[in-house]
Structure 1
Amino acid sequence: MTNTKQAVFKALPGKKYCAVIFTAALAISTLIVKAQTPAAYVNPFIGATTNTDDAGVYHGLGKTFPGAATPYGMVQVSPNTITGGDNGSGYSFEHTSIEGFAMTQMSGIGWYGDLGNFLVMPTTSKLKTIAGKADGSLHGYRSKYDKKSEKASAGYYSALLTDYNIKAEATAAPHSGMLRFTFPQNKESRIQIDLARRVGGTSTLQYVKVVNDHTIEGWMKCTPDGGGWGDGDGHADYTVYFYAEFSKPLTDFGVWSADIPDGWGRKLNDVTSAKYLNQVAAAPVLKGVKETEGKHLGFYTQFATHANEEVILKTGISFISMTGAKNNLNAEIKDWNFDGVHQKAIALWNNALSKINVEGGTKEQKTVFYTALYHTMIDPRIVSDVDGNYPGGDGKAHHAANFNKRTIFSGWDVFRSQMPLQTIINPSLVNDEINSLVTLAQEKQKDYLERWELLNAYSGCMLGNPAVSVIADAYAKGIRNFNVPEAYRLAVGSVEKFGNGDKGFTGGDLSISYTLEYAYTDWCTGQLAKWLGKTADAEKYINRGQAYKNVFDPEKGWYRPKDDKGNWKAWPDSARTKQWYGTIESNPYQQGWFVPQDVQGMAKMMGGNEKVIADLNNFFGKTPDNMMWNDYYNHANEPVHHVPFLYNRLGAPWLTQKWTREICRRAYNNSVDGLVGNEDVGQMSAWYVLAASGIHPVCPGDTRQEITSPVFNKVVLKLDPKYAKGKTFTITAQNNSATNIYIQSARLNGKVYNKCYIDYKDITAGGSLLLTMGSKPNKSWGILQ
């Protein structure tokens, strides 16, 4: 799980919060959304907590945000409840106060987090220049809010800020957002904007200018010196440009500018310290200033309001220029019709979510499904402006003529389910992502691909070479609208720079994880070489794909880490279940199943299919009912996400059917804690979307898709005619129910089908897969390999 990265970077202890979950606040607003549309089922509160107490582990839970967004949009207008801690989304449901509404957010991540820029807060009475502390130890402009009033749906969020008696509403367009505030009668009402604010630290330099009597523009520079991603260790370095218009004229306005001494540190612990906050609290307020630059700026506009007066702020965002931000706003939000923008956001979501249509199942299951699909459509987000210009890795503006520049590639997570899902329903997005990674490497003059990219940063986060997996999977599936020779060159550069090499293993504290992950992406590179006719490379890298065997100790019967010289490390009593023993964010029992490129070779090494099946049964059988963080099948983290589908490869497909249905039932539900682990930029949800639909890969780069027991009676996958021969592929589960979870027989396009897998090309050809379900396993179906 990519939240703390303790093994790769310094540890981040999770701060614990006491959670009181008000289930009444989970209701989705359906005043505008029609009940039969996919968007009506979306509940953005699913997973919207970082609570470590409920999770029972420092990783916390889903870490999603509840604010307004559009599919893969640049802008997310969301409430922020906290700046400190391992709170990448800036929000946690159990918090009782809001410090503002930001225009950018990350979804499902920790590691301090980033973005959360352009923090807007409506206030009354005396102006305060800091948000203050959630525990009340330091007062500021943050406000308690009525949890019962809090509502969120696709493209919309609202809550009543009780300290000010102000109703706040948010909606979004792809590159811009709107906030509507309903004020009480007050002579000192205002909208204030903290330009320095950033989820995991602070922006280090800001600029603001009053353009006319309704408009401001400016920028916020966010560098590693200001913390952010990995508290600076993630190398995030970006500038957010804004162009913002107010519905009420700017007549009484100004800035506050805190004097931050040159020698002061500005990472997360620095900017959340009492010393720093007291300095900001004492910031001079400069009335009437029309243009300024500073280290810690805020802007405010003050006005009188009558009871229930609505004041609207609309903002365009760009990562290139203020002109880009203005163009983005003018292209998307031409008037002050908040409800109209909201309706357009709903339409965008209905169009995006209609890529998959499900029938049957309960309302709860449909809510979980469409919210999961919604969460897979936050990232990788567009970072190019409406004119196609985007910020390059060289710090210059570039123009993308044939792809959309995208950002936030949580590679170690998303290569497993999220990107394979997109190859089916959004293949053009996969091309976009590969183009984005390849051009980034060129712009930065790198000879390898980044594994966890954020706004052009080569963060170095996590391990493996996940971009190589995504490229191999795309190429295998005929998704090839990218510079294939350059992508191959960078794939080779990646596995040579980060790999097991001729030594055949990687030593050190994470020896097992590194060796297994590298072996897989070496195999992916070998597949690419084979397809491209590079015979020598194919042989070399496919052979390196067997390196997983080099950290398996036959004497112990399991994987064992080696030191750099190849000596076995000491074997503890609880070796297989000992967290961090040769592995990252897991234990050897969990990581050891990761040989997707050679399941049969792995099984033979482990003692044969029967022994492996028995071991897997033990693995699943000892998993706690709630599937929260544990030492066995730990669905809260990515290394095991392919494991339920291994039964298909081992000759016991009924156990894949059993356990995927169990995971769908136990690890996902319609509540704030409805995700047992971090969402991780769409991965956790993508697993559910695929498994609940009845298919999931074991090995991206291999076009085989495992068949399992669908949650729904009918699933229709809408195919892209630019990439697929067919229009739709339908999976029907006849006689499906909570007890009839086992496949009795199957027909593909009307013909008897006895395989427990289907090829990707059969899906994209269009057609139908009919599964007849029953309450007992049919142990003769699906055995053909």
Structure 2
Amino acid sequence: MIAKINRVEKRKIQKQCCKWVAFACLLFIIKDNGVAQTGSLANYVNPFIGASTSAGKAGIYHGLGKTFPGATTPYGMVQVSPNTITGGDNGSGYSYEHTSIEGFAFTQMSGIGWYGDLGNFLVMPTTGALKTSSGKLNDAPRTGYRSRYDKNSEKASAGYYSVNLTDYNIKAEMTAAPHSGMLRFTFPQNDQSRVQIDLARRVGGTSTSQYVKVVDNHTIEGWMRCTPDGGGWGNGDGHADYTVYFYVQFSKPFVNTGVWSADIPATASRKLEAVESAYYQQWTANAQVLKNVKEKEGKHLGFYTEFGTKKGEQVLMKAGISFVSINGAKKNLEAEIKDWNFEQVHNHAVALWNSALNKIQIAGATPGQDTVFYTALYHTMIDPRVVTDVDGNYTGGDKKIHQATGFQKRTIFSGWDVFRSQFPLQTIINPALVNDMINSLVTLADESGNHYLERWELLNAYSGCMLGNPAVVVLADAYMKGIRDYDVNKAYQYAVNTNEKFGNGTLGYTTDVSIAKTLEYAFDDWCLSQMADALGKKEDAKKYEARSKDYKNIWDSTHHWFRPRKADGSWEPWPQEGRLADWYGTFETNPYQQGWFVPHDVDGMVQLMGGKEKVIADLESFFDKTPRSFSWNAYYNHANEPVHHVPFLFNRLGAPWLTQKWTRIICDSAYHNSVEGLVGNEDVGQMSAWYVLASVGLHPVCPGSTRYEITSPLFAASKLKVVKDKQQNTFTVIAKNNSPRNIYIQGATLNGKPYPYCYIDYNDIAAGGTLELTMGDQPNKSWGVN
């Protein structure tokens, strides 16, 4: 009997040892041998993922990812990237299927439409006769300075881009630092080689005035003024109004230089439809060429430096960019790129990316998954970008120069998109950035005199793009998670002002885009109520909590769904397509998609909809009717943000195995290592942030709450470097027995103790620890249902 007991105990000890050895092996894989080796993460980035705006391949005019493939650094001011087209619904200025390149700009936006903006300071190496217009994308024969290129030569990686321009036989390479960039051109033998810079260029239109000055025989400086009259964001309706300053040096001394100046009539439109027209191209083609001019201001300027080159001769150009001043641009360049060592700048950019990407390490990914994951993480680290110069100066909402104290001024806040996944991700791995963005929005509200928080901010512009009050959501979410390095009282007051200015009003619903706005404003009020309660403002908390129930005011019990209402209380006519009718009280959605957006009161929503069983059945149908390509569709439309929380609703409905099933399917089907690898617009990090969170097994339903849903991880292990109270911790998610078949969670432990819940609190994540999930090929319908 004793011998038998000893054998049993021995087996238990062996089993326990095997368990801990396996656990240790997983951690060892993460640390040393797996995908996530600290020095190599940048190698997994493929900037071509999503770099297309093809409406044909997307099946919708919105196109695909609209990312750019050029060189940048984490949250950097500068993005040196090829541009193939300006404006329309292609905000990145580039689309992979285009066959010619207009030039290489120093600023770009990522994953957006609405005509786009930036794309400033467009540099192009050329040979032969000088051309002063860009020419058209598909011109044959070529009429402008743009060039066809060898698609097989095109290379892109984190911090680097290169391509061979076939019309000129020139190799163009580029890399970036946070506030500056460097280009290296390898020329053929030619007596008339040059580098030319189109100072008027701007995605979605044109800059409306420019200035350039030759400082010495290697250096120029100047600025480009971009106003709404020149189109840009929303073709001017986005109110983007900024000045880009530059300080530029060339490795080859000036011999022949000049400026071209197009005579743009005072009455001429400067917006996209004009800039793209044949007559505007003719004006720029007929620009006056002013040789050896040392200083010039005008409406449509360009600069060139011309020289002879030997075969294989390399000419380099480096530029500092600022949104504050020429002196700021000069300081930025001198601080970051001190000499002409292109490889050193490139290596530093890669090092910055390795450090940033190292915030999450994964193990057990397939060769395709590792690239998709780290490219997704990379895309979440483009914006919100820094616009503070190296000396701490930034341009405020009052157009005056301010000194940033205790934060970095940031820009490009695509609020309606990024409150859902991008900022909940950053609260875990980069809370300092969240503080920066809140400080930036609050100081903008202060400096501009608007005293409310903008929903879609671009370089201090209150663009008004999209809907809802997403800045209030981001603020409340951060505050509830203890992220509070900003003027809390002022932030709260501006949040109140925001919800009072934009909300459901005395009717308790909106009559314009009635479903989408009513539901979003109700959620915004709930977020504000949470912050008010935490601040001890009990009356405010009660008020906004009551207003958060406004979503019930547009519930139509006759048709059993949300329905737009008129000001007199009557309903809008019910369409023949029912809740599948696009734009019926919604924005970029239909009522079936938008109607699930009651994240703050899922129980109340379920009660309206007829109970859990009915809702689960409806949701299953919603997903079952979705095409497995996850391209634009009338059901679960992952290509657009309003449904991004919906797969996680099953956790709230007592069926977490369905969340596990569908998030795995979406991760595997909607994200790929290809140009068409994003089914919808990247939208400034949101599309990729969803993948990053879901693939490691965590995602919120309701920002403003500290609850994250647990779902089926893609990987055997993920290690997140998290920050709590400015202390760095590590939170690890282990998925034992994980495989393409074993997608269902059988059980869980948190820090070695049994964990029966399908959710976890943010504070438990931020404190560090280990969540261990045991996976299997069949649902465990008893785990996570309480």
- Whole-Å Cα distance in 2 between the matches of residues 697 and 259 of structure 1? 54
Q: Note if 1:698 corresponds to 2:701.
A: yes
Equivalent residue for 1:733, pick from 712, 732, 735: 735
User: How far apart are the structure 1 equivalents of 2:99 and 2:179?
Assistant: 29
Are the structure 2 counterparts of residues 521 and 80 from structure 1 closer, same or farther at C-alpha, using a change threshold of 3 Å? same
Q: Structure 1: how far apart are the matches of 2:634 and 2:436?
A: 37
Which shifted more, 629-638 or 77-86?
Answer: 77-86
The answer for the alignment partner of 1:19 in structure 2 is: none
1:587 aligned onto 2:590: yes
Hey, what does 1:637 align to over in structure 2? 640
How far 1:623 sits from its partner (Å)? 0.2
Partner Cα separation in structure 2 for residue 100 and residue 436 of structure 1: 32
**Alignment pair present for 1:561 and 2:564:** yes
Q: Where does residue 751 of structure 2 map in the other structure?
A: 749
Pairs within 5 Å for 1:569-608: 569-608=572-611
Structure 1 counterpart of 2:537: 534
2:50 paired with 1:74: no
The answer as to 2:764 corresponding to 1:759 is no
How far did residue 142 of structure 1 move? 0.4
The answer to whether the Cα contact below 8 Å between 1:34 and 1:40 also exists between their aligned partners in 2 is: no
- Within 5 A, what are the aligned runs for 1:80-91? 80-91=83-94
What is the identity percentage for the equivalent residue pairs of Structure 1 and Structure 2? 71
Contact 2:711 2:758 in 1 (8 A): yes
Out of 157, 160, 167, the position equivalent to 2:171 is: 167
Q: Supply the AA of the counterpart residue of 2:623.
A: F
* Structure 1 CA distance for aligned equivalents of residues 306 and 85 of structure 2: 25
Equivalent residue for 1:355?
A: 359
Matched ranges for 1:320-719 at <5 A = 320-508=324-512, 510-719=513-722
Q: State the Cα distance separating 1:676 from its structure 2 match.
A: 0.1
Does the 8 Å CA contact 1:507/1:566 hold for their aligned counterparts?
A: no
CA 1:523–1:190 in structure 2 vs 1: closer, same or farther (change >3 Å)? same
Larger radius of gyration: 2
Q: For the residues of structure 2 that align with 1:250 and 1:450, how far apart are their CA atoms?
A: 46
Q: Is structure 2 residue 270 aligned with structure 1 residue 248?
A: no
Conserved 8 A contact 2:38-2:354: no
* Partner of residue 223 from structure 1, selected from 227, 231, 234: 227
Aligned position for 1:6:
none
More moved, 261-270 vs 498-507: 498-507
Distance in 1 of aligned mates of 2:632 and 2:662: 17
- Aligned pair 1:152/2:175, yes or no? no
Greater mean deviation of Cα atoms: 652-661 or 78-87 = 78-87
What does residue 25 of structure 1 align with? Answer: none
Secondary structure in 1 matching 2:552: helix
Counterparts of 1:244 and 1:565 in 2: how far apart (Å)? 61
Between the aligned partners of 1:713 and 1:737, the Cα distance in structure 2 is 8
Which deviations, in whole Å up to 9, do the C-alpha atoms of 1:170-196 show, x marking residues without a partner?
100000000000000000000000000
Q: Deviations over 1:384-441 (max 9, x none)?
A: 0001100100000001110000000000000000000000000000000000000000
Letter in 1 for 2:696: S
Q: How far did 1:35 drift?
A: 10
Where does 1:105-144 land on structure 2 (aligned, <5 Å)? 105-136=108-139, 139-144=143-148
Name the residue aligned to 2:776. Answer: 774
Separation of aligned partners in 2, 1:782 and 1:75: 46
The aligned runs of 1:225-240 (5 Å cut-off) are 225-240=229-244
What is the letter of the counterpart of residue 357 of structure 2?
A: L
1:242 match: secondary structure: strand
The SS at the match of 1:516 is: helix
- Render the CA deviation track for 1:584-611: whole Å, top value 9, x for unaligned: 0000000000000000110011000110
Cα contact 2:100–2:138 (8 A) shared by 1: no
Whether the 8 Å contact between 2:87 and 2:232 is mirrored in structure 1 is no
Give CA deviations for 1:522-559 in whole Å, capped at 9, x if unaligned: 11111111111111110000110001111110110001
**Residue 48 (structure 2) aligned to one of 25, 42, 45:** 45
Letter in 2 for 1:325: A
Separation (CA, whole Å) in 1 of partners of 2:744 and 2:254:
65
| Shift in Å, 1:501 | 2.2
Q: Which residue of 2 aligns with 1:308?
A: 312
What is the deviation of 1:36? Answer: 6.3
Size of the alignment, in residue pairs? Answer: 750
1:95 counterpart = 2:98: yes
- How far apart are the structure 2 equivalents of 1:347 and 1:531? 40
Q: CA deviation at 1:503?
A: 1.8
Find the aligned partners of 1:625 and 1:774 in 2 and give their Cα distance.
23
Among 291, 296, 302, the residue aligned to 1:298: 302
The worse-fitting range, judged by mean Cα deviation, of 275-284 and 132-141 is 132-141
Q: CA deviation at 1:502?
A: 3.1
CA-based RMSD of the aligned residues comes to 1.0
Gaps of 5+ in 2: 1-35
1:765 deviation in Å? 1.1
2:192 is matched with which residue: 156, 178, 188? 188
**Partner Cα distance (1:74, 1:567) in 2:** 50
Which stretch of structure 1 is more off in the superposition, 247-256 or 560-569?
Answer: 560-569
How big is each residue's C-alpha offset from its partner over 1:66-101, in whole Å with a ceiling of 9 and x where there is no partner? Answer: 000000000000000011421100000000110000
Q: Secondary structure at the match of 1:325?
A: helix
**Partner SS, residue 597 of structure 1:** coil
8 Å contact 2:39–2:354 — kept in the other structure?
A: no
SS at match of 1:127: coil
CA distance in 2, matches of 1:766, 1:168: 45
Deviation beyond 6 Å, 4+ runs, structure 1: 33-36
Query: In structure 2, what is the Cα distance between the partners aligned to 1:36 and 1:62?
Result: 28
2:629 is aligned with what amino acid?
A: N
The superposition leaves residues 544-579 of structure 1 with CA deviations (integer Å, 9 ceiling, x where unpaired) of 000111111011000110122221000012121111
Q: Distance in 2 between the 1:666 and 1:578 partners?
A: 26
Q: Are 2:507 and 2:567, in contact at CA under 8 Å, matched by a contact in 1? A: no
Deviation at 1:34, TM superposition (A): 9.2
1:89–1:109 contact (8 Å) kept in structure 2: yes
Distance (whole Å) between structure 2 residues aligned to residue 699 and residue 721 of structure 1: 21
Shift of 1:721: 5.5
Instruction: Measure, in 2, the Cα distance between the counterparts of 1:773 and 1:503.
Output: 49
Indicate the residue corresponding to 2:205 in structure 1.
201
Mapped partners of 2:412, 2:288: distance in 1: 37
Query: TM-score, normalised on structure 1?
Result: 0.95
Partner of 1:23: none
Residue type at the aligned position of 2:337? I
What amino acid is aligned across from residue 181 of structure 1 in structure 2?
F
TM-score normalized with structure 2 length: 0.95
Contact 1:201–1:228 (8 Å) recurs in 2: yes
Contact preservation (8 Å) 1:84, 1:272: no
SS at 2:245 equivalent: strand
Partner SS for 1:611: helix
Deviation at 1:720, TM superposition (A): 2.5
Residue 496 of structure 1 aligns to which amino acid in structure 2?
A: E
**Contact between 2:132 and 2:144, CA under 8 Å: does it hold in 1?**
yes
Cα deviation, residue 723, structure 1: 3.3
CA distance in 2, matches of 1:402, 1:779: 49
Q: Deviations along 1:228-287, whole A, 9 cap, x unmatched?
A: 000000000000000000000011000000011100010000111111110110001000
